[in-house]
A and B are shown apart, each in its own frame.
Chain A
Amino acid sequence: MTMNPTNASLSGSMQSPRSQSSQPFLSVSVTDPVKLGNGVQAYISYRVITQTNFPDYQGPEKIVIRRYSDFVWLHDRLFEKYKGIFIPPLPEKSAVEKFRFSAEFIEMRRQALDIFINRIASHHELQQSEDLRTFLQADEEAMERFRAQESGIFKKKPSDLMQIFKDVQSKVSDVVLGKEKPVEESTPEYEKMKHYIFELENHLAEAQKHAYRLVKRHRELGQSLSDFGKAVKLLGDCEGNALGKAFSELGAKSETLSIKLQKEAYQILMNFEEPLKDYVRAVQSIKATIAERANAFRRQCELAETMKLKEINLDKLTLTRSDKVAEAQHEYNELKVESEQAAQTFETIVRLMNEEMVRFQEQKTKDMGIAFHEFAKGQARLANGIADAWRSLIPKLESCSSS
């Protein structure tokens, strides 16, 4: 279990699982990735350890085995049930076969899943979810059954989501252009928020791209230093005497620094680039919620429209004393209930989103603050290491020239 700083700030409401306090806590960790299965069917399983004193949960500690698709199941269930809440994002499904079982990828995914589950566990509403309880407590066969059941019914295909995004985006621009689109929410605050989210994603994606490139640059520089070191050593062998020794030592230092650079590359990948990617995912999750809100709004409007029509119809029928009045009245009543529900749903989403935005911004400020800090520390450490390594050569070089 890697307790990186991002983790530490997000894990559960309390830190110590062994505390006897009566404060409710729920602390989860995702650990021990293990490759199971063979060939194309191969996958990674994780140990999910839950420590809690929640009433419906088993024991002080429970351990289950889960795989990536179990996490996806949980995410989708929460997305369906808690409209308006920004569901914590999942790490991507990797398409590249070769990369899927690399140590780096596995660790990145494990870290991301750990963060994912802990964010849910520390969200005051989401942590109440039954699906979460299932996920954390059910045995493996039961989990598999649940997972198989739900696929297809609730799961929105990515293409559907894409369409929704496109609709939302086009509607934003339509409003800006002044086109009349009555079935769309358009308060100035909400417009501003949508615009903010869409722009934010672009900016973040760019920052993340450069962060990723920076990781590569560290690796490349490490490689160059290693090659240079080797070449310089060979040159030293040719020269012999004091100069030869100087070359050799320089070459050796160069190789040492190469290792430091590779290490730093990994650190940047895990503690800087990954949090930025996570930020992008979070923004995408908000976009999905925006799409849900649009749906809810549309439904509410449609129902309101339909109700109006039904009302007119009902009045007409009443006046003509038609025998269809009772039926029509019944329909109308049902519709009224639905309409009220739809309005309620929509309002809940609006309320939740406002709360979530505040929470989101605070959380991101903290996440980024930690990421920046770790990055800066790492860079400073690297630079100091480089300075120290080269500096140690100076007295030797000095003595060479005086001899």
Chain B
Amino acid sequence: MMDSEDQGVEEAHLYASKEEMENLVLDDPLSSKSYSNYRSAVSTLSDNQHPLSPSIAVTPADSDPLLAPPHYGEFGNPSAPDNSYIDPPSYGDAIFSPFNENNGNDVNVVDSPSQSSGSSPSFSRSSSGSEYLKITVSNPVKEQETSNSFVPGSNTYVTYLITTRTNIPDFGASEFSVRRRFRDIVTLSDRLAESYRGFFIPPRPDKSIVESQVMQKQEFVEQRRVALEKYLRRLAAHPVIMKSDEFKAFLQVQGKLPLPTTTDVTSRVLDGAAKLPKQLLGDSVIAPNEVVQPAKGGRDFMRLLKEFKQSMVNDWGSSKPPVAEEDKEFLEKKEKLQELELQIANASRQAESLVKSQQDMGETMGELGLAFIKLTKFENEEAVLNSQRVRATDMKSLATGAVKASRFHRELNAQTVKHLDTLHEYLGLMLAVHGAFSDRSSALLTVQTLISELSSLQSRAEKLEAASSKIFGGDKSRISKLEELKETIRITEDAQHVATREYERIKENNRTELERLDRERQADFLNMLKGFVVNQVGYAEKIADVWTKVAEDTSRYVNDDST
């Protein structure tokens, strides 16, 4: 499909006269992009579509010709003779010009929710005036691992330039850059997951080990660059995370990413391993704040084992768990969200297939136009009779119409992709929601484990006490054991308090995030619908105009009925 069109474009260049070429050349970058994977289409669009700002995610407000007529001339086909590009504003323009007041090239320009440029990852809606945080990922460079290695050139990796522009005072500067490698993103993501349990943290790009082997290096690096940019922009759009220390450090701190010991997973694991024997013996050197981290993350085997036992009890035991998930409202919400996720996934799939159909329509229309251009040329060259020349003129009218309509269909589609991409974005966000909910359940599990641990410790203590009180004068060994046990109990109680506080904290985070999700989702989806609809209207009007003209050109065949 693509090939024949490219070939057709070539032939059009060869055969068409200069005038025809000016009118009919199909050299916009869209013509050679396949939309079979519309995910990649969005990323390619953000690169190729907008000549002004190649690495900014183009929002519908930017390049939708209806909402930003001044930009229109730059995007798509530069050949100006086609006057349809400078048409008077359509209905869409008239209704929506106030809508795009804050149209600029800035992602994350924040005003009231309804005015945000919705579709691409710019969900920032912080209420503090017009803050912005614009991140760009660019300039991938291959670098060498500096460690001693016997095989030179073996440990290479790619770094990306991360440029930030912001007016937020916390950052202390308005523009800065760092170089980061993918591993650093993984670290950032892990740390955010530790520090912001209960929050809807956007999921980071995949490690894509298979793809990195299979794909062409350049293609893979580009794909990754795009994914990184999207990820960082999503983080920047989160009102809490955008101001987090981790994020700020990631964006600003020069040189290799620092690994402070307090949050370093590795050293915690090592510490944990060292403490393991003491834990096994019931010794109390567990720092309560360690309880704050989920067991699964580290290698605290004992804890893992205990919590696993507890979860078994929860699932199979007849006794009710000590702290049940009682928040009915939460459970209802969770169910609703699951249903919502299903429907979003379904809608996203259908959106992809719609986009493909629109794309195919545009392409076939273009091919039809080219076939008629060839016919026109042929008839003109071979004409012996006047009826042939007349027909050639009619064919040219049709061909021109078809080519123009084809272009509009494909532009329409490019915009549709961007609008409907919101659906896909929210699917990604659902992953983050799952993460936050699982933070909650694992925190709850920790609490439950500690509570039952506590109760078993306490019953042991009671037994010991009862046993030793029977012996007159006391049992020295039992008494010392009792003392130790009581110490363990105290520590475990502390740990349980910390764990409970953590659990409550996560619950609260869940709640505020859910509110935020609802609010933002309403706004984003509404924007998506508006954008989609306005886009359709605008292009349909343009396409109607094209064909109305062709109908006028050929109207004499129907009015004049005499044989």
Contacts and interface: CB of A to CB of B under 8 A. Distances in A.
A34 to B, nearest CB: 30
Interface in B491-544: 522-523, 525-526, 529-530, 532-534, 536-537, 540-541, 543-544
A9 B563 contact: yes
A140 B273 CA distance: 101
A389 to B, nearest CB: 9
Contact of A394 (B354, B533, B544): B533
Contacts, number: 205
B397 to A, nearest CB: 7
Nearest to A378: B547
A225 B356 CA distance: 11
Interface string A206-224: 1101110110011011011
Interface in A376-403: 376-377, 379-380, 383-384, 386-387, 390-391, 393-394, 397-398, 400-402
Interface string B368-411: 10011011001000101101101100110110010001000000
B536 A386 contact: yes
A361 B387 contact: yes
A250 B364 CA distance: 27
A209 to B, nearest CB: 8
Interface in B199-220: none
Interface stretch (A161-169, A281-289, A365-373): A365-373
Interface centre among A220, A231, A234, A398 (most CB of B within 10 A): A231
A218 B544 contact: no
A60 interface: no
Contact of B364 (A210, A357, A387, A394): A210
B148 to A, nearest CB: 57
Contact of B540 (A217, A377, A384): A384
A376 B401 contact: yes
A207 B537 contact: no
A243 B540 contact: no
Interface stretch (B310-318, B472-480, B481-489, B551-559): B551-559
Contact of B349 (A231, A246, A358, A362): A231
A250 B347 CA distance: 12
B385 A358 contact: yes
Given A361-B385, A379-B405, A393-B533, A372 B550 contact: yes
A357 B344 CA distance: 61
Contacts of A206: 371, 374
A395 to B, nearest CB: 9
Contacts of A386: 536, 540
B547 A394 contact: no
Contacts of B398: 372, 375-376
Interface string B314-350: 0000000000000000000000100110011011011
Nearest to B562: A9
B23 interface: no
A384 B546 CA distance: 11
A371 B398 CA distance: 10
B364 to A, nearest CB: 5
Contact of A224 (B356, B530, B558): B356
Contacts of B358: 221, 224
B245 to A, nearest CB: 36
A51 to B, nearest CB: 16
B167 interface: no
Interface in B148-190: none
Contacts of A8: 561
Interface size class of B (residues with CB under 8 A): 35 or more
B455 interface: no
Contact of B529 (A207, A217, A250, A383): A250
Nearest to B340: A238
A238 to B, nearest CB: 5
Nearest to A215: B364
Contact of B394 (A214, A223, A369, A402): A369
Nearest to B361: A217
Interface string A177-205: 00000000000000010001001100110
Nearest to A220: B357
B351 interface: yes
Interface string A312-324: 0000000000000
A370 B540 CA distance: 24
A199 B536 contact: no
A228 B398 CA distance: 31
A364 interface: yes
A112 interface: no
B203 to A, nearest CB: 22
Contact of B360 (A196, A217, A366, A377): A217
A239 interface: yes
Given A369-B394, A376-B554, A220 B529 contact: no
Given A5-B558, A224-B357, A372-B550, A394 B95 contact: yes
Interface string B28-69: 000000000000000000000000000000000000000000
B530 A387 contact: no
Nearest to B113: A401
Contact of A203 (B336, B375, B394): B375
B353 interface: yes
Contacts of B405: 379
B276 to A, nearest CB: 47
Contacts of A387: 91, 536-537, 540-541, 544
A375 B358 CA distance: 19
A383 B347 CA distance: 24
Contact of A362 (B340, B343, B387): B387
Given A372-B398, A376-B550, A383 B557 contact: no
Interface string B446-462: 00000000000000000
Nearest to B374: A203
B114 interface: yes
Contacts of B91: 387, 391
Interface in B95-132: 95, 114
Nearest to B535: A390
A372 B397 contact: yes
A397 B96 CA distance: 12
Contact of A373 (B351, B384, B529, B554): B554
B526 A221 contact: no
Contact of B554 (A203, A225, A372): A372
B534 A394 contact: yes
B353 A224 contact: yes
B4 to A, nearest CB: 9
A13 B357 CA distance: 45
B391 A364 contact: yes
19 contacts: A13-B563, A200-B378, A213-B367, A228-B347, A231-B351, A234-B343, A235-B340, A235-B344, A238-B336, A238-B339, A239-B340, A239-B525, A243-B522, A361-B391, A369-B556, A372-B397, A383-B540, A383-B544, A393-B529
Nearest 10 interchain pairs by C-beta = A369-B557, A383-B544, A387-B540, A376-B550, A380-B547, A373-B554, A376-B551, A224-B357, A379-B547, A210-B368
Interface of B: 91, 95, 114, 336, 339-340, 343-344, 346-347, 349-351, 353-354, 356-358, 360-361, 364-365, 367-368, 371-372, 374-375, 378, 382, 384-385, 387-388, 390-391, 394-395, 397-398, 401, 405, 522-523, 525-526, 529-530, 532-534, 536-537, 540-541, 543-544, 547-548, 550-551, 554-558, 561, 563
Given A214-B368, A401-B523, 13 more contacts: A206-B371, A225-B357, A235-B344, A250-B532, A364-B391, A365-B388, A369-B391, A369-B556, A372-B395, A372-B550, A376-B551, A391-B533, A393-B529
Interface of A: 5, 8-10, 13, 122, 192, 196, 199-200, 203-204, 206-207, 209-211, 213-214, 217-218, 220-221, 223-225, 227-228, 230-232, 234-235, 237-239, 243, 246-247, 250, 357-358, 361-362, 364-366, 368-370, 372-373, 375-377, 379-380, 383-384, 386-387, 390-391, 393-394, 397-398, 400-402
